[in-house]
Amino acid sequence: MADEVILLDFWPSGFGVRARIALREKGVEFEYREEILRDKSPLLLQMNPVHKKIPVLIHNGLPVCESMNIVQYIDEVWSDKNPLLPSNPYQRAQARFWVDFIDTKVFEPADKIWSTKGEVQEKAKKEYIEALKILESELGDKPFFGGDIFGFVDISMTGYYMWFEAFEKCGNFSIEPECPTLMASAKRCLQRDSVVKSVPDPEKIVEFAFKIRKIYCV
């Protein structure tokens, strides 16, 4: 009997896209169910009663929540193809460290870039570039954070890479001159087949970002 795999998600979500990419990297067939976040489905509320957020992976009726927890679960369950986390314990710990850095030091200013203006936005842009430069230093001259392998940290960052254009247009700044090596890796990631099939058109994300800015009265 085949596994039943359902993903509760929202199309522009940089967190949801991580699960989509991981499933496609592993070649896992799944049913995608789009959520309307202002009118959450009974299934979402049932499967994630604590946070009531997407993404939620439902594997044979059992829910797994939080994006990178889902990615790790996918890596462990479908372990026969395309490992996403290194086998070395130290390297695994380092990968988790950088994902935590991304979801704190990158997320907070990124969120403010498209939802604020003026001094708050200017400060957020500075903090955002500073965080990206730290990541660029960690990347070094490697094609991916996982070395030659597209892996755990790359999947985490791809959720931000797909929003780069929206951030730039909302904040009226450019990332590539500040972080050329990181941008080269971002372009490499965005060209992967699993990513192309998972990431929305950048213009749609830009349009969505400006629509949300209006809701925030920005």
pLDDT digit string, tens, across residues 76-125: 999 999 999 999 999 999 999 999 999 999 999 999 998 899 999 999 99
36 CB burial (10 A radius; 0-12, 13-18, 19+): exposed
Q: Positive or negative, the Cα torsion across 187, 84, 110, 181?
A: negative
pLDDT at 136 over 70: yes
pLDDT at 217 over 70: no
Helix, coil or strand: residue 3: coil
pLDDT digit string, tens, across residues 51-62: 999 999 999 999
Helix, coil or strand: residue 146: strand
Domains, in order of start, for the chain: 5-77 (3.40.30.10), 89-216 (1.20.1050.10)
In order, the DSSP letters of 77-90 are HTTTSS-SS-SSHH
176 CB burial (10 A radius; 0-12, 13-18, 19+): middle
Q: Please state the pTM of the whole predicted model.
A: 0.95
pLDDT at 149 over 80: yes
Cβ pair 9, 62 in contact under 8 A: no
Q: What is the pLDDT of residue 212?
A: 87
Provide the β-strand partners of residue 8.
Answer: 33, 56
**Mean pLDDT score across all residues of the chain:** 96
Distance of CA 142 to the CA centre of its chain: 20
User: Mean of the pLDDT values across residues 2-22?
Assistant: 96
Instruction: Count how many residues are written for the chain.
Output: 218
pLDDT at 1 over 60: no
pLDDT digit string, tens, across residues 177-215: 999 999 999 999 999 999 999 999 999 999 999 998 888
